[in-house]
Structure 1
């Protein structure tokens, strides 16, 4: 009997990590022209970004109730403890849906050992929680030890996002039409945070090169109580691996970091933030396990 980690595709972890640590991933639904796709299963994020550059639009939908029901019933037959780490409740209804389904399933299967954690995080920030939990599970850590770690990570994980075109944030309802128009006109690149599980603009920078410098300044300010050299730093990107590698090199030079997880942003965020999005993730305080 051990611990099994369940999550969803909004965690944006690379496939090799998912496979190595046997993480069970439920795909977010992606919608284009009323046709539904499964994130990273029947549609690739690169396809989405290519289409968005051509002016096409995508929407996303939360994981259906029946998918949770089938998965939870499957796990009811397992002797493992299950931890489902959910996409931020401030950005999706997935977390609330999973809570409702768990209670329904437990009426039929009262011995189901399932904990549900609101990551209050997105993309690789969410992914680092899942990654750490899966590593601990593979090492034989207990459910309580993993849940303790997750509580800390939820409170201390930092997200720093930027988007290449503010127009995508308007389409996603994050800025007004006037802000989007003025931002595009002046080449303004917003920098965003995740606060209380929601995306919040925190800086406005003119020009791409200034964005990189400002993002490093924010890391420096927010990592005063953390040893970044001994952390895993997450970097996710909207189809722009060159930008991801550039910011990686800058972080290496400035902070001495050597351990990175880099991956493309999936549909849950990418369909709203657009191609060219760049995001950084780290802990603002060391975790003392």
Structure 2
């Protein structure tokens, strides 16, 4: 039984890791200053965006989910004859139409899959499951890495689904946005009032940088700092403490909306690398994809770890 994992472009993982594990990326359409791009997590295009400073124009940027029809056509061509079982993990449904569109496409795909496989000389049945990751960015990447590990371990189809759906509630994320005003404007256009005008004003006028922490759908500000570097240090201290205390999967995921030279200069990154190596945890460090960067703004950082219930302050 060949099992394939599908994620969308909001899922942040290192390109080489995704390539090694044959991860299939469902594209998202990105529109920046009137120019349309298909975000497939191409590393060269992503680095070009950051190096050129093009992402700094993010206030004129938006993303559009593939329609159900587009997903149907793509999966019929690329997925149905390639895998016996397909797991599609989407960015949290509360922030995107990808889940709904993929679930709608799944119904039509399942109706046509048997005939398509017969025509291609493929035996056996095809099954598909669309799962709401309840995550964003590196949180979605962490779930994907854990899912790939379960697939490699030979988990059955039903066990895989149950484990993935339970595991997503154990993921904690830390997000450091560079500009709350940017997030508020993006949210306002979507009708999302989760970031208040007051918070955005304070962030812009007083140079306050928050750390937003928690299970992705219930995350809240747990710290405010006077500088981005200070916020990064707090998150690195948290991550090191959490790794030392134990994690539920041997991965820690970080995605950064910046060039690689800026990523390597992040304060505390080398200390985190050392902690991960000492504790047998693989650090999945990646550039934030174009889709993710448009959502949260250039220069942001997202870190994800899976663990038992705890507070950010437990590791400060």
TM-score, scaled relative to structure 1: 0.84
1:58 counterpart = 2:61:
yes
Compute the displacement of 1:136 (Å).
3.0
1:98 is displaced (CA, Å) by 0.9
Structure-2 change in CA distance of 1:42 and 1:247 (3 Å): closer
Change (3 A) 1:200 1:70: farther
The corresponding residue for 1:231 is 250
**Contact 1:226/1:284, CA 8 A, preserved across alignment:** no
Contact map agreement 2:32 2:57 (CA 8 A) in 1: no
Are the counterparts in 2 of residues 2 and 137 from structure 1 also a CA contact under 8 Å? no
Aligned-partner Cα distance in 1 for 2:135–2:58: 28
Whole-angstrom distance in 1 between the partners of 2:84 and 2:300? 38
Aligned Cα RMSD in Å? Answer: 3.1
Q: Which runs of 5+ in 1 are unaligned?
A: none
SS at 2:268 equivalent: helix
**Take 2:97 and 2:59, find their aligned partners in 1: how far apart are those partners?**
25
| 1:277 CA displacement | 0.8
Q: Deviations over 1:64-94 (max 9, x none)?
A: 2222101332444456111111111121110
Q: 1:196 to 1:265 in 2, by over 3 A?
A: closer
Match among 172, 178, 188 for residue 186 of structure 2: 172
Distance in 2 separating the partners of 1:104 and 1:55: 35
Alignment CA distance shift 1:79-1:270 (3 Å): closer
How has the CA–CA distance of structure 1 residues 4 and 229 changed in structure 2, closer, same or farther, with 3 Å as cutoff? closer
SS at match of 1:44: helix
- The DSSP-based 3-state class of the residue aligned with 2:13 is coil
Q: Indicate conservation of the 8 Å contact 2:170/2:215, yes or no.
A: no
Q: Which residue of the partner structure matches residue 36 of structure 2?
A: 36
Deviations 1:128-168 (A, max 9, x none): 21122223324433223322331232010111010223332
Q: Distance in 1 between matches of 2:43 and 2:170?
A: 34
Contact 2:176 2:232 in 1 (8 A): no
Any residues of structure 2 matched to 1:154-169 within 5 Å, and which? 154-169=168-183
CA contact (8 A) 1:28 1:267 kept: no
Q: 1:114-133 residue pairs with structure 2 within 5 A?
A: 114-133=128-147
Shift of the 248–147 alpha-carbon distance from structure 1 to 2, 3 Å rule, reads farther
| Structure 1 pair 249–28 and aligned structure 2 pair: CA distance change class (3 A) | same
2:50 counterpart of 1:45: no
In 2 relative to 1, CA 115–166 (structure 1 residues): closer, same or farther, beyond 3 Å? same
The equivalent residue for 1:13 is 13
User: 1 CA distance for matches of 2:244 and 2:166?
Assistant: 14
Cα distance in 2 for partners of 1:142, 1:232 equals 22
Choose 32-41 or 212-221, whichever is displaced more.
212-221
